[in-house]
Chain A
Amino acid sequence: DVKVTQSSRYLVKRTGEKVFLECVQDMDHENMFWYRQDPGLGLRLIYFSYDVKMKEKGDIPEGYSVSREKKERFSLILESASTNQTSMYLCASRPRKGVLNTEAFFGQGTRLTVV
């Protein structure tokens, strides 16, 4: 089975802190994604990466950055956390760069609270 693992299930951070959310997948997928999930808004794409050291902005990249130094790991960074970044964060991966019809596999989510 494909496994996508997010390092934390729950996090509480203070305003202004630098926050790292880590995601690891074990199936050699090229594509990895970070979404945030908010009630009534569904899932919104923050950033995605289609290869090591490659990244592209999603729909809501402001206030976030990412890092992909190894194929299996994709990190989401909140440079200076703010209360409006309190949310559920979901990591996903998908195989085969350039193939559009494969489904994505999701991690269990990290619920981040910024106080």
Chain B
Amino acid sequence: AQSVAQPEDQVNVAEGNPLTVKCTYSVSGNPYLFWYVQYPNRGLQFLLKYITGDNLVKGSYGFEAEFNKSQTSFHLKKPSALVSDSALYFCAVRDEVTGGGNKLTFGTGTQLKVEL
């Protein structure tokens, strides 16, 4: 079975500082990994994905994520946080092998709060 863990319910960071939102995963085969962001009372917006290739993936709004196969992690990063980055972030995984068919499994979400 595929699963995702986001160990932090909330991350606080000062504007201008680097941010990291953590994600670890478990799959049977090769993973397809995704990050989504949700602003209050809105749906999810796609940020970036890892399918294959370079371990550092760049996405929307200056975000990037690093795939680490040995640590089964896919942490989301940004070099300089903005107050407008404050939102709920979800990591998700789909297993290449079993896949659950079309199933995308989400983590429980991490609330990012960027303060002045």
Give the total of B residues in contact with A, Cβ under 8 Å.
26
CB pair B103–A48 under 8 Å, yes or no, is yes
User: Within residues 91 to 116 of chain B, which ones have a CB less than 8 A from any CB in chain A?
Assistant: 94, 96, 99, 101-109
A42 touches B43 (CB 8 A): no
Q: How many residues of A contact B (CB 8 A)?
A: 29
Contact of A42 among B42, B49, B108 (CB under 8 A): B108
The residues of B with any CB-CB pair to A shorter than 8 Å are: 6, 9, 32, 34, 36, 41-46, 49, 51, 90, 94, 96, 99, 101-109
- 13 additional contacts (CB under 8 A) given A9-B41, A48-B102, A103-B46: A41-B108, A42-B90, A42-B109, A43-B44, A43-B106, A90-B44, A94-B102, A101-B49, A101-B94, A106-B44, A106-B45, A108-B42, A108-B43
- 26 A-B pairs within 8 Å (CB atoms) are namely A4-B43, A6-B43, A31-B102, A40-B9, A42-B6, A42-B107, A42-B108, A43-B44, A43-B90, A45-B105, A48-B102, A50-B102, A58-B103, A90-B44, A100-B96, A100-B102, A101-B51, A101-B94, A103-B46, A103-B49, A104-B46, A104-B104, A106-B36, A106-B45, A109-B41, A111-B41
